[in-house]
Structures are given as C-alpha cells and as structure tokens.
Amino acid sequence: MYHIDEHGDLFTPAERAALSLAERMTTDARGVDEELWAELRFHYDEGEIIEMAAVIGLFNYFNRFNDALRVEITRPGVSPTDPSGT
C-alpha cells in the first residue's frame, strides 16, 4: 500500500484490511478479490463492510468531482479569496 506498509506496525490487522479495501477501491476496484473479502469478513460484519465501501466510494466521488472541476480546497474558515485567513 502507498506508504502505509512503511508504517504497518501502527495499524491493527483490521485497520490494514480496511486500508487495503480503500486502496483497491480507489486504484482498481476489480482488484477487490476473494482474499481481501475473506480478510474483511474476519474482522468486520457485513454491515460494517458495506459502510466502509460506501464511505470509500463517496470520497472517491468527491475527489473525482473536485479534480474534474478544478475545485481549490481551502482550510475551514479560510476564504479562497483571502488565503492569509485575515
């Protein structure tokens, strides 16, 4: 996984499975294979897996939408016309 493997010891096996789902759904949705589903089922129930997939899909949508429209992301409370925040 992208930089996560470098810090794998910081995550539980359940968290690593969830992160693997996020990475695969983002980079190659067809790459979510039976091995990953089995790992997810070991740690999570069906409802939790569906919720994770829904959130991952939603944030992938937001990212693609914002990228396509070239939306500038700003910090909360900071005006895009005044990046100094004053």
Quick check: is 27 in a domain? yes
Kindly indicate the confidence band of residue 2, based on its pLDDT and cuts at 50, 70 and 90.
low
How many domains in the chain? 1
Find, among 58, 22, 5, 14, the residue nearest to 40 by Cα: 14
CB of 21 within 8 A of CB of 53? yes
Q: How many CB atoms lie within 10 A of CB 56?
A: 18
Give the pLDDT confidence of 18-68 residue by residue, as tens digits: 999 999 999 998 989 999 999 999 999 999 999 999 999 999 999 889 889
Question: Is 85's pLDDT higher than 60?
Answer: no
**Residue 25 falls inside a structural domain:** yes
Q: Is 84 domain-assigned?
A: no
- Does residue 19 form part of some domain? yes
* Closest to 25 (Cα-Cα) out of 56, 55, 4, 51: 56
**Domain span including residue 28:** 5-69
For residue 55, tell me if it sits in a domain: yes
Asked, for residue 77, whether it belongs to a domain, the answer is: no
Does residue 78 lie in a domain region? Answer: no
Residue 18 is inside which H or E element, if any? helix 13-27
> pTM score > 0.85 for this model?
no
